Amino acid sequence: MRRREFVHDAMTAIGALGATAALGCSKKTEASTTTAAATPASAAPAAIGQNVSWRLVSSFPRSLDTIFSAAEVLSERVAALTDNKFKITVHAAGEIVPGLEVLDAVQAGSVELAHTASYYFTGKNPALAFDATVPFGLNARQHLAWLNEAGGLDLIRGLYSDFKIISFPGGNTGAQMGGWFRKEVNTVADLKGLRMRIPGLGGQVMSRLGTTVQVLAGGDIYPALERGAIDATEWVGPYDDEKLGFYKVAKLYYYPGWWEPCAGLSFLVNTSAWAKLPKEYQQVFETAASQAGVVVQNRYDARNGPALTRLLQQGVKLMRYSDDILKAARTASEELFAEQAAKEAAYKKVFEHWDKTRKEMFSWFGTTERAYADFAFQPPA
369 is a domain residue: no
pLDDT recorded at residue 148: 98
Clarify whether residues 321 and 223 are in a common domain: yes
pLDDT recorded at residue 121: 94
368 is a domain residue: no
229 is a domain residue: yes
Structure confidence at residue 48 as a pLDDT band (50, 70, 90): low
Q: What is the pTM of this model?
A: 0.86
Give the total number of structural domains in the chain: 2
Residue 189 CA to residue 325 CA, distance in Å, equals 9
Residue 29 CA to residue 20 CA, distance in Å, equals 8
Mean pLDDT within 335-341: 97
Does an H or E element contain 213, and which? strand 212-214
Clarify whether residues 244 and 267 are in a common domain: no
Clarify whether residues 308 and 204 are in a common domain: yes
- On the question of pLDDT at 319 being above 70, the answer is yes
268 is a domain residue: yes
Structure confidence at residue 12 as a pLDDT band (50, 70, 90): very low
Mean pLDDT within 317-345: 97
Percent of the chain exceeding pLDDT 70 equals: 87
Clarify whether residues 167 and 133 are in a common domain: yes
CA distances from 61 to 76, 312, 340 (A): 18, 26, 32
Structure confidence at residue 199 as a pLDDT band (50, 70, 90): confident
Does an H or E element contain 192, and which? none
Clarify whether residues 149 and 282 are in a common domain: yes
Clarify whether residues 150 and 45 are in a common domain: yes
List, in sequence order, the alpha helices (H) in the chain.
3-17, 19-23, 27-36, 65-81, 102-108, 140-148, 152-160, 200-208, 218-226, 238-244, 271-276, 279-313, 323-343, 345-364, 370-376
List, in sequence order, the alpha helices (H) in 98-237.
102-108, 140-148, 152-160, 200-208, 218-226
- Print the domain residue range for 37: 3-174+262-301
Clarify whether residues 64 and 105 are in a common domain: yes
- Please write the tens of the pLDDT for every residue from 224-239: 999 999 999 999 999 9
379 is a domain residue: no
Task: Point out the domain boundary residue: 301, 320, 355.
Answer: 301
Clarify whether residues 156 and 41 are in a common domain: yes
Percent of the chain exceeding pLDDT 90 equals: 84
Mean pLDDT within 281-309: 98
- On the question of pLDDT at 35 being above 50, the answer is no
pLDDT recorded at residue 330: 98
Q: Which residues pair with 319 in a beta bridge?
A: 254
164 is a domain residue: yes
How many Cα atoms within 13 Å fall on the side-chain side of residue 31? 5
**CATH assignment of the domain containing 131:** 3.40.190.170
Clarify whether residues 316 and 271 are in a common domain: no
pLDDT recorded at residue 193: 96
- Please write the tens of the pLDDT for every residue from 96-152: 999 999 999 999 999 999 999 999 999 999 999 999 999 999 999 999 999 999 999
